[in-house]
Amino acid sequence: MWKSKNNKFLKVRKLVNLTDTIDSSIALLDGYFQQANLKAEVSSGLRTAEEQLKIIVNKSLKHKVDLEFPLIRAAKLKEKETWIYAWSRLLTIG
């Protein structure tokens, strides 16, 4: 059983893919959230490279980065030139 399952302030969404390290960190952070009387949810944990690329593509489209780097629209994980520049631009956007 995950330790963070007992958290009261920093809750983990059901479909989050946890690891022992991620779970331990979230469990430890709950005390800080409690001290600040803040409630929050963890919405992601471990992702595959493919899942991360999908996020990069979707954010690129949302922020219209694809207009500058159109290769992102058909990005392939093993073809870095199709996504690396869009990702870099996203990092500057925040």
Q: Considering the entire predicted model, what is its pTM?
A: 0.74
Which helix H or strand E contains 10, and what residues bound it?
strand 10-12
How high is the mean pLDDT of the chain? 97
What are the extents of the domains in the chain? 3-42, 49-93
Residue 94's pLDDT is: 78
- Asked if the model's pLDDT at residue 80 lies above 90, the reply is yes
Radius of gyration of the chain from Cα atoms? 17
Q: What is the DSSP string of 31-50?
A: HHHHHTT--EEE------HH
**How large is the average pLDDT for residues 68-82?**
98
pLDDT of residue 40: 98
Percent of the chain whose predicted confidence (pLDDT) is above 70: 100
